[in-house]
């Protein structure tokens, strides 16, 4: 009966152990520390250097990408956000109709009112188009 048991075929041992893969996953999810890692987002090339520094294992960038996909991580491109964005105007725009009604009621009884908007073309927006690694199905 021993000869009929199924077994894994012989092959090379994985480069990273289970705990090391778990540490890599946490490293990617938590993101880099700009003061220590000198990057603001993880790229495969940055992670290759970090794995070499932490575990002493040197792999190609494509291997790192395969590992990240194996860990159920995907590359996302978040929406661009201006670094000096103020959340206050967004709250005001959600209530724009009621605010306008409050201001204009009784003051413009028979006067036509024109409402103009500016910056509809997003002129001056300086957001980034950087990719980031995030769990599959999330919209971080």
CATH numbers and ranges of domains, the chain = 14-81+127-135 (1.10.10)
SS3 of residue 29 by DSSP: helix
CA distance 73 to 24: 11
SS3 of residue 85 by DSSP: coil
Q: What does pLDDT average to in each consecutive run of 10 residues of the chain (140 residues)?
A: 67 87 92 86 91 92 92 81 68 71 73 69 61 77
CA 103 to chain centre: 41
SS3 of residue 132 by DSSP: strand
pTM beyond cutoff 0.85: no
């Amino acid at each position: 009966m021993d000869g009929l048991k199924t077994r894994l075929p012989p092959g090379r041992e994985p480069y990273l152990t289970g705990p090391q893969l778990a540490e890599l996953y946490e490293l990617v999810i938590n993101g880099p520390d700009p003061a220590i890692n000198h990057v603001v987002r993880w790229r495969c090339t940055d992670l290759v250097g970090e794995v070499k520094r932490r575990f002493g294992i040197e792999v190609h960038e494509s291997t790192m990408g395969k590992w990240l996909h194996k860990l159920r991580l995907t590359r996302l491109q978040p929406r661009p956000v201006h670094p000096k964005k103020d959340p206050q105007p967004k709250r005001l725009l959600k209530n724009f109709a009621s605010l306008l009604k409050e201001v204009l009621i009784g003051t413009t009884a028979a006067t036509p009112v024109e409402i103009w908007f500016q910056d509809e073309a997003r002129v001056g927006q300086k957001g980034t188009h950087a990719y980031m690694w995030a769990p599959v199905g999330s919209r971080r």
